[in-house]
Amino acid sequence: MTETDQIEALLNIVDAERTQTREESERLVVLGYAERRGKAGYWPTNAGWNLLGDRGRPYNP
- Over range 5-24, report the average pLDDT: 92
Q: Domain locations in the chain?
A: 3-52
Label residue 59 by pLDDT band (50, 70, 90): low
pTM for this structure? Answer: 0.81
- 2-13 pLDDT tens trace: 999 999 999 999
Mean pLDDT computed over every residue of the chain: 88
Q: What distance separates the 2 farthest-apart alpha carbons in the chain?
A: 41
53 three-state secondary structure: coil
E strand intervals along 1-61: 34-37, 41-44
Cα 42 from Cα 26, distance rounded (Å): 9
